[in-house]
Amino acid sequence: MKAVLERGGAAALALEGITCSFAGAAGEPGYTAVREATLVVEDGEFVSIVGPTGCGKSTLLNVAAGLLAPSAGSVHVFGQPLAGLNRHAGYLFQADALMPWKCALENVVAGLVFRGAAREQALETGRAWLRRVGLEGFGDRFGHQLSGGMRKRVALAQTLALDPAILLMDEPFSALDVQTRVLMENELLDLWSADRKSVVFVTHDLEEAISLSDRVVVLSAGPETHPIGEYAIDLPRPRDVSEIRLLPRFIELHGRIWRAMKSEVLKGYARQRQ
């Protein structure tokens, strides 16, 4: 799929002036989750989006995926306006999105089957991906027979098996325990560095954002969320997420971004308490 893409220097993903309003119940005012948000992700770039809870990060990601049509603004994928679902994107959801009635291998190959791949070949690719995420021999397990971390790996393999040019990730590791999380983050970096997909990684965890990304975008508190700051992360690669957190440069970046975020976090918290 990637080979036939006309990239021609266009950004992998360009969201311009995105506004998302949701109609309120009868007699109540509508709710504007995102207002005038612009976000550009270059080809091969790893961008994290951070912001306080409930600030519309997922809304922005759904717009990029084509699952949600914005009220205003435009979406371009490799220079082409987006109509319908974004076929160049793979989406890793926050919640468990595996089909519980399919075993791990069947889940991994689901996308290939949906796109009309020959079954034998799909199974071959699926097994290879299970191996790459460290789940060789677990192909015949069902969701309830796997741990949370294993299920996330299956979901990762399911998404990556389609070899998407863009990877959208919505707090994918937020439900995992700390140790599993660090392992998964390192694994993600390994997989990403192999073929440098464009990644949009949504998280509320600033440390995770800095240790993974090339660039961190900070969103304001909702409603009417919009980006309020962008920070280039010039830490060397390859990185080890558990060690990089100790570097002075990491601490300095963390301090700078946190100062920008702090007032928004407090604002979001105050609004939620009302």
- Contact residues: other proteins, CB under 8 A: 65, 67, 85, 87, 89-91, 93, 95-103, 110-111, 113-115, 142-145, 158-159, 162
Burial (CB count within 10 angstroms: exposed 0-12, middle 13-18, buried 19+), residue 273: exposed
Closest CB 166 distance from other proteins, rounded Å: 11
Tell whether omega for the bond before 81 is within 30 degrees of 0, i.e. cis. no
Burial class (CB in 10 A: 0-12, 13-18, 19+), 209: buried
**Closer residue to other proteins (CB): 114 or 269:** 114
H/E segment holding residue 261: helix 248-273
Three-state DSSP state, 77: strand
Closest CA to 210 of 176, 163, 148, 260: 260
Closer to other proteins by Cβ: residue 100 or 148: 100
As measured in angstroms, the least distance from the Cβ of 226 to other proteins is 24
CB 156, min distance to other proteins, A: 12
By C-beta, is 62 or 211 nearer to other proteins?
Answer: 62
Contact between residue 69 and residue 83 where contact means Cβ atoms under 8 Å apart: no
Give least dist CB 182 to other proteins, A.
Answer: 25
Residue whose token pair is 């990684």: 201
Distance of alpha carbon 41 from alpha carbon 195, whole angstroms: 16
Of the pair 166, 188, the CB lying nearest other proteins is at 166
Nearer to other proteins, 66 or 268 (CB): 66
Q: Which is nearer to other proteins, 90 or 268 (CB)?
A: 90
- Considering the complex, what minimum distance in angstroms separates the CB of residue 142 from other proteins? 4
Whether 86 contacts 104, CB under 8 Å: no
**CA pair distance 32, 90, nearest whole angstrom:** 26
Minimum Å distance from CB 217 to other proteins? 22
